[in-house]
Amino acid sequence: MAGSLCGLWVDDTGRVHTTLALPDGGRIDRDGSLRPFAWLARGAERVALPAGVTVEPLRGEGSFAHLAHAEDMTAYDAFAAAARAAGGFDAIRPFENQYLLQQRERLYRELTFPQLRRCQLDIEVASPAGGFPDASRAEDRVLAIGLRSGGKNQLLLLTEPTDAAEKALLQEFTVALLAADPDVIEGHNIFKFDLDYLRQRCRRHKVPCAWGRYGQKAAFRNSKLKVAERWIDFTRCDLPGRAIVDTYLLVQLYDITTREMTAYGLKDAAVYFGVTDESHDRTYIRGGEIQQVFTADRARFCAYLEDDLRETEGLADQLLPTYFEQARTFPILLQEATLRGATAKIDLLFLEEYYHARQACPVPPEIQPFEGGYTRSFQEGVFRHVLHFDVASLYPSLLLSINRNPRNDTLGVFVPLLRRLREYRLKYKLLARQAPTEAERAEAQARQTTFKILINSFYGYLGFSGARFGDGELAAEVTRRGRELLQALIDEFARHGGTILEADTDGIYLSSEKYYADPDALLALVAPILPAGIELEYDGRYTAMFCYKAKNYALYDGAKITLRGSALRSRGIEPFLKRLSDQLIKFLVGASTESPVVAWEEYRRQLGSRAVPVADLAKSETLSQSPEAYERLMAEGGKPRRAAAEAALQLSPRPRMGERVSYYITARLKGRTSDWQRARALAAYDPVAAPYDPDYYQEKLDDWLERYGGFLGAKPPPAQEQGELF
């Protein structure tokens, strides 16, 4: 195949449409065909076969012992309906993934990330009625559509506030997008806002959403994504031949492991990732002022839109390469790679081998609960001269040491695949340091990071009930050996004089004045106790560490503070308490000489006269279900009531599941004492009719000091008293 595959779509007939990237940067379209396939459980192969469907037996003892192929989609659909009814049908979706697996093909195989055609998209809208924009309102409009390709901006602006002008703007957008012909379209909250808003306005003006390749229109459907313990609702958009990447979702997926971000909006994320420096002269316009600025100060409006595009590109520059490399590794579309978990991706690698070997596939086994990894806190308080040592890829290394495939992996794919991926990772890790150019080093770094994430996911895959080749007993054996190894390391570090502070899974924090300046010397003393194939690494030192409680601590390296654990970095606490906590940590680790006690006293005084701004008191929570679902549940007598959900019911339009709602607590009234009864949406704040309750927030202050005062030598004053704290 000449060129590198950079676009793929399978139509309803089974015809495969591909786009190839040529060496000169051009794009060319080609057609092919797919023989759709599915696995059948024993007995299901006896269903009546329509013309154009063949079934072959597979080797091995897996439950799915037959493989069916169809000549076209018509035959496939007829057969699939009958096989599903028989209860023994399993197939890969979408069909683009089937094609990649069947051909052992990958997207972007010969492309580097800079060679990808990327386009950033952002829109600005007018809402004359006020409040949050609503595309279903006739008077709302698209004011501008910003596109950015290769660092160059193209701003499409509404010429006059009429339906005809908006229709012309939407048509102009389609022409501009098709001319740019991007492989990837990037936007921040692009699913839930930009594309959905454009869809509704296009429908209103009877403008087709013909934004895909091969002359195809966009397809929309309701979807949701699980991010850690939360679900996010969004309107998914699929464009044949292109990928859509939502940096709003990528930011949240990134934060699963770091848990450091307090907000996921574009401006906050751009500052967090260093795309925009806090002192940068970035143009800001409040949401309610967009329309007025568009009319009165067009240059400022355009600067604001261009900054949005620049920041979106900057976020994708940092977050997208990992998924780009996944698309080059797995038989999966780039958009699917950003929206699917590790288990589904690893399954595809296994299924590719089983498909081509014509080996029977198992059903996902039920995984029984087992004891997890080593986690223990040894100290509380502030400690100096802190070192961190890390066992490199502990669980993958133990899996390779055990050298045992999952029980139902009859083809023996697991260990060889893990070993091969680990070798790839080490190869690119070396290139990330030694490649001759910065671009090559950056490319290698992205690859080694992807392979690191992937091989570390293999252990989690084993213990997940939805994993087709899971094995709870093997996962339990890995964690048992991991706990034993960590305990041995802890004992050895302690024997050499280290004060153990915190240990979890594969890392140990300790305080050692003796070896603080020469951690490699301590590493050389401890490393010999490790079994073959397991490597201990020195991973950093810190001038101070605040150990609060298990899995909750703060690290300070003399320049930056890093927080670990939800107790110290919760996004749900009120802003004034968050400021106090941040000041506390800075003070304890030596990053500031300003004690939070003074601020605590000032907050308490100001609360008495309601002088603290309500925005500093409003709590923000992510909705775990839609307001409509919550309302139905409560009407049926469901429990518990939730303050954030009650506040969401007060908003119009109502937020979706996965969105954040800010609310404050009003004064107590007769019969209304619970938080949920007194919760009021921040957007509906009324200082006269519904002021906040100062007593409620003073109690919050006292609770905060009760929790942290011991580290400061302070305690709350007695009730009704605001005297000295010491």
Cα separation, 375 vs 379, in Å, equals 13
Is 516:347 a contact under the CB 8 Å cutoff? no
Q: What is the mean pLDDT of residues 205-216?
A: 97
Cα separation, 441 vs 621, in Å, equals 40
H or E stretch including 375? strand 375-377
Residue 438 CB neighbours (<10 A) = 8
Is the bond leading into 640 cis (omega within 30 degrees of zero)?
yes
pLDDT of 723 reads: 45
Share of the chain above pLDDT 70, in %: 97
Residue 669 makes CB contacts below 8 A (sequence gap 6+) with 678
Question: Average pLDDT of the chain?
Answer: 91
pLDDT confidence tier of residue 170, bands split at 50, 70 and 90: very high
pLDDT of 362 > 70? The answer is: yes
Least confident of 261-265, 315-319, 558-562: 261-265
pLDDT of 174 > 90? The answer is: yes
pLDDT of 722 reads: 46
CA distances (Å), 185 to each of 321, 423, 439, 450, in order?
A: 14, 33, 22, 21
Q: For the chain, list the domains and their CATH numbers.
A: 1-36+91-97 (no CATH), 113-329 (3.30.420.10), 366-401+471-563 (3.90.1600.10), 566-712 (1.10.132.60)
Question: What's the per-residue H, E or C state across 603-620?
Answer: HHHHHHCCCCCHHHHCEE
pTM of the complete model: 0.84
What single-letter amino acid sits at 398?
L
Residue 243 makes CB contacts below 8 A (sequence gap 6+) with 183, 184, 185, 333, 334, 335, 338
pLDDT confidence tier of residue 369, bands split at 50, 70 and 90: confident
Dig out the tokens for 126 from the structure: 């007018």
pLDDT of 569 > 70? The answer is: yes
Dig out the tokens for 266 from the structure: 């574009």
Q: What is the mean pLDDT of residues 511-525?
A: 96
pLDDT confidence tier of residue 280, bands split at 50, 70 and 90: low
pLDDT confidence tier of residue 99, bands split at 50, 70 and 90: very high
pLDDT digits (tens, 9 = 90+) for 427-445: 988 999 899 998 888 888 8
Cα separation, 500 vs 593, in Å, equals 27
Cα separation, 6 vs 551, in Å, equals 43
CA distances (Å), 314 to each of 137, 318, 635, 678, in order?
A: 33, 7, 46, 41
Cα separation, 594 vs 599, in Å, equals 9
DSSP character at residue 244: E
pLDDT digits (tens, 9 = 90+) for 630-679: 999 999 988 899 999 999 999 988 887 778 899 999 988 776 678 999 99
Is 536:489 a contact under the CB 8 Å cutoff? yes
Share of the chain above pLDDT 90, in %: 71
pLDDT confidence tier of residue 716, bands split at 50, 70 and 90: low
Q: Who wins on pLDDT, 687 or 439?
A: 687
Dig out the tokens for 48 from the structure: 């009546």
Specify burial of residue 595 (Cβ count, 10 A radius: 0-12, 13-18, 19+).
Answer: middle
Is the bond leading into 653 cis (omega within 30 degrees of zero)?
yes
Cα separation, 506 vs 539, in Å, equals 11
pLDDT of 715 reads: 65
* DSSP strand pairing (37-41 vs 64-70): antiparallel
Cα separation, 327 vs 133, in Å, equals 35
Task: Sheet containing 381-391: give its strands across.
Answer: 375-377, 499-504, 507-511, 381-391, 536-549, 552-556, 561-564
State whether residue 259 is helix, strand or coil. coil
In degrees, rounded to 5, the angle at the alpha carbon of residue 519 between the alpha carbons of residues 513 and 525 is 105
Q: What is the mean pLDDT of residues 286-301?
A: 92
Is 526:498 a contact under the CB 8 Å cutoff? no
Q: What is the mean pLDDT of residues 560-581?
A: 86
Is 17:213 a contact under the CB 8 Å cutoff? yes
pLDDT digits (tens, 9 = 90+) for 50-72: 899 999 999 998 999 999 999 99
Is 177:213 a contact under the CB 8 Å cutoff? no
Q: What is the mean pLDDT of residues 601-626?
A: 92
State whether residue 203 is helix, strand or coil. helix
Least confident of 154-158, 173-177, 285-289, 299-303: 285-289
Cα separation, 211 vs 162, in Å, equals 23
pLDDT of 714 reads: 66
Specify burial of residue 35 (Cβ count, 10 A radius: 0-12, 13-18, 19+).
Answer: middle
pLDDT of 442 reads: 83
Residue 10 makes CB contacts below 8 A (sequence gap 6+) with 16, 17, 34, 94, 95, 96, 98, 99
pLDDT confidence tier of residue 16, bands split at 50, 70 and 90: very high
Backbone φ and ψ of 264, nearest 5° = -115, 5
pLDDT confidence tier of residue 538, bands split at 50, 70 and 90: very high
pLDDT confidence tier of residue 279, bands split at 50, 70 and 90: low
